[in-house]
Amino acid sequence: VRGQPLPFAGLKLDRADNLRADPERMAELAGPDARLLRLEGLIPRLGEDACLQWGRCGDLGDDAELVFLGLLDGEALFAAVPADGDTDPAYTRRETWAALGQLGPDELALYGGARSVLDWHARHRFCARCGGPTRIAKGGWQRDCTGAACAAQHFPRVDPVTIMLVEHDGRLLLGRSPRFPEGSYSALAGFVEPGESIEEAVAREVLEEAGVRVRDVSYIASQPWPFPSQLMIACHAHADDDALTIDETELEDARWFTRDEVRDALENGAESRSFRAPTPQAIARHMLQWWLEEER
Amino acid sequence: VRGQPLPFAGLKLDRADNLRADPERMAELAGPDARLLRLEGLIPRLGEDACLQWGRCGDLGDDAELVFLGLLDGEALFAAVPADGDTDPAYTRRETWAALGQLGPDELALYGGARSVLDWHARHRFCARCGGPTRIAKGGWQRDCTGAACAAQHFPRVDPVTIMLVEHDGRLLLGRSPRFPEGSYSALAGFVEPGESIEEAVAREVLEEAGVRVRDVSYIASQPWPFPSQLMIACHAHADDDALTIDETELEDARWFTRDEVRDALENGAESRSFRAPTPQAIARHMLQWWLEEER
């Protein structure tokens, strides 16, 4: 987990945030020949080389909303805000996932970051404060309310989520949501709420979902997750007791797994006799790998 | 920093999130005699005992929007959404800060969490997706769009912010924003953007604001910050070089400080000959303390 960027992290672009606030420079960069990420809505369109495809900003109408993704070798990259954001959950998006499975790490990071911002724009065309229309600003890293009496500024949202390895006596607590594929288990997770630290969010989530009290919460790693825009914060925690009280509105099942069972799941995929491990794009899978490697 | 909750963390309430989704139970708990946090807008009203004051839900009109804060010794606590959210920055709110200086840690956590959610409601009375009115839902932990064609659900926002101790050769990089009180310096900080990890956000912010490249970013601690609703994520990083290129749109100055200078600032307050340290409520001050205590 430490050392190499996790999937969706490791963006190679220079975000060049100093250019965003300069409308003239932005207009100059977004000329008709500027590179534009090819998407169908939010679905990436890959070429035969299994790479992201690029068009030109000139292909778009004048009313297109453009997001400045950053500079790659000095060249500006853009993407256009789609008509609609995503309302269906990520795991139902088979076309998107098929494409993601083909992308290398650099393109995965580029697509993920673009997707989060584009989806946010598509779902924030109005001002939450006054209900008036908003317009894109600062190269796509802001939206401004157009109502003179309000003029609120809005910024792309990032939602911090804790995801945790809970350990007791050498075993790990994993759970399955009713919407998981059959046999799949993963680390418990939940959004950080206003008024709590990361460590408190971890303890609250585990208590709510599995009825287990934890101590010694420690940070492992973090990952951006673009469905739509989470910051996954991976932690480890110790449980003093292994008795479970499962919140059945959240989890279908939760169980303690041994190192052998976790290893079996990671090594044998669908053939595993213990459980189906999370997808390679998910930080949860890397956390399990880390747990096996870490001698504690 | 580790071991004891930071200011605004350490909430003693049971958030009882399982009750939020039960409208009948919520209505029952929010009866006329239920306890209601006394606020003037978002400003806490303290009694002569320097404690938060409580009224009754029955004091409010029928159209008041109530947030269920949680259970304290089995008793439900509520707060009402004010007419307006905060638009002025936190540091200009002298009345609020005077009150916060008097509160003990438990009440600081209770007020901070309540403030974040209340402010979010006041600034989200409309649907960002369609512009239609929203209404409070799930005991104040959600807002629903009232438009039948949209029906979007919205959740209280928490914005992850990185704040970092950048170290080079035993000295620490601190900066001052033009809006800081005279002589004040603090740790550099910035919002996590979509598409980046915590560690990447730290490196990007330091490079943008001070022109310094960092390595070996490590997590220290986290804190909820209710102005309006940040999750402060404290990190440490090493710089290989101490040459600074300051972004003057963000910082008025940035400098390297020795341990003696940091100690002087923490111990001598306004009398310090080096700089004025951050307020005790800010995680930045606790990070400086931690740096002095940690032998690295």
Amino acid at B262: V
pLDDT of A91: 62
Give chain B positions within 8 Å (CB) of A226: 194-195
Q: How far is CA A67 from the centre of its chain?
A: 18
Q: How far apart are the first and last CA of chain A?
A: 16
Closest residue on chain B to A205 (Cα): B17
Verify whether the Cβ–Cβ distance A159 to B154 is below 8 Å.
no
Is A204 an 8 Å CB contact of chain B?
A: yes
- Pairing mode, if any, of strands B35-37 and B54-56? antiparallel
Q: How confident is the model at residue A3 (pLDDT cuts 50, 70, 90)?
A: low
Per-window interface: A 138-177 vs B, CB < 8 A: 141, 152, 154-160
Token pair listed for B208:
């943008």
DSSP A181: P
Which range among A4-18, A193-207, B83-97, B109-123 shows the weakest confidence by mean pLDDT? B83-97
A132/B128 Cα distance (integer angstroms): 9
pLDDT of A207: 98
Q: What is the pLDDT of residues A97-130, one digit of tens each?
A: 889 999 999 999 999 999 999 999 999 999 999 9
B117/B144 Cα distance (integer angstroms): 15
DSSP A196-227: --HHHHHHHHHHHHH---EEEEEEEEEEEETT
Is A84 an 8 Å CB contact of chain B?
A: no
Cβ atoms of A67 and A57 closer than 8 Å: no
Q: Is 0.95 exceeded by the ipTM?
A: yes
Token pair listed for B65:
């929007």
Amino acid at B120: W
Q: How confident is the model at residue A89 (pLDDT cuts 50, 70, 90)?
A: low
Does B89 score more than 70 pLDDT?
no
DSSP B160-206: EEEEEEEEETTEEEEEE-TTSPTTB-B-EEEEPPTT--HHHHHHHHH
Q: What is the pLDDT of residues A22-62, one digit of tens each?
A: 999 999 999 999 999 999 999 998 999 999 999 999 999 98
Token pair listed for A51:
């790479």
Is B130 an 8 Å CB contact of chain A?
A: yes
- Pairing mode, if any, of strands A159-168 and A188-191? antiparallel
Which range among A242-251, B95-104, B208-217 shows the weakest confidence by mean pLDDT? B95-104
Q: What is the pLDDT of residues A188-223, one digit of tens each?
A: 999 999 999 999 999 999 999 999 999 999 999 999
Q: Within 13 Å of residue A131, how many CA atoms lie on the same side as its CB?
A: 9
Verify whether the Cβ–Cβ distance A18 to B208 is below 8 Å.
yes
Cβ atoms of B145 and B123 closer than 8 Å: no
Q: Which helix (H) or strand (E) holds A159?
A: strand A159-168
pTM for the model:
0.97
Instruction: Tell how many helices (H) and how many strands (E) occur in chain A.
Output: 7, 15
Give chain A positions within 8 Å (CB) of B11: 195-196, 200
Give chain B positions within 8 Å (CB) of A245: none
A32/A245 Cα distance (integer angstroms): 59
DSSP A14: B
DSSP A70-101: EEETTEEEEEE--SS---S-GGG-HHHHHHHT
B15/B77 Cα distance (integer angstroms): 10
Q: What is the pLDDT of residues A266-289, one digit of tens each?
A: 999 889 999 999 999 999 999 999
Q: How far is B194 from chain A (nearest CA, A)?
A: 5
Is A249 an 8 Å CB contact of chain B?
A: yes
